[in-house]
Amino acid sequence: MTHPEDPSQTPDATASDPASPRPPRRAVLAVGTVLVLGGIALAIWAVTATGSTAPEAQPTSAGTVSTASTPPAAEAAPTPAPAASTPLSIPTDGPVISAFSVEPAVAACPDDRASTLPLTFSWTSESAERAWIGVGTSDASAQPAAEVDLSSAGFSGLVFACSDADQVFTLTVQGATGTVSETISLTRELD
């Protein structure tokens, strides 16, 4: 016979009861500990796998290459001078519009608003194979007014319509790796 006040005879509250819906406390603690430790291990792996890359080499004015983690000058080994100083070429990711401008910068229109104002565009581009200019678009290759040279110092094939309060002109250049556009917005000023 069991005695209700004898601790050795009372059932353990943490012992597993097949009818009890709660899992044993030790099992919950063990699973939680494994999950926490696994998360920490995963975080450490992620930091060491992606964060421990060597610093990127940077060119110096003498043509040698140095990194951000060079040892102090007292410990650094002397770097031999290059035989011939050649510029380092840095590849571009795609075409570039170096400059794009229009003259006049403001459309000074007469009061009748039915007239047009001649415009002169200038631009330069790099790493481009084709170029377009357009009006009222953000992509002149999709809605071109004209296909143009890759560089121009006086393209006058477009005019400002004085019936509009403002107009947007876009230069789009295309290279082997994509297209890039630049816009100029002109605002009408009545004389």
What is the model's pLDDT at position 82?
45
**Would you say residue 91 has pLDDT above 60?**
no
Residue % of the chain over a pLDDT of 70: 64
More confident residue, 75 or 113: 113
**Would you say residue 151 has pLDDT above 90?**
yes
What is the model's pLDDT at position 61?
41
**Would you say residue 153 has pLDDT above 60?**
yes
pLDDT per position as a tens digit, 24-71: 778 777 788 888 888 787 778 777 766 544 444 444 444 433 344 444
Distance (Å, rounded) from C-alpha 29 to C-alpha 37?
12
Q: Under CATH, which number does the domain 96-190 receive? A: 2.60.40.10
What is the model's pLDDT at position 23?
65
What is the model's pLDDT at position 120?
96
pLDDT per position as a tens digit, 75-86: 545 554 444 444
More confident residue, 55 or 139: 139
What is the model's pLDDT at position 92?
56
Most confident stretch, 48-62, 65-79, 108-122, 129-143: 129-143
**Would you say residue 111 has pLDDT above 90?**
no
Residue % of the chain over a pLDDT of 90: 47
pLDDT per position as a tens digit, 162-184: 999 999 999 999 999 999 999 99
Q: Tell me the domain boundaries of the chain.
A: 23-50, 96-190
What is the model's pLDDT at position 46?
72
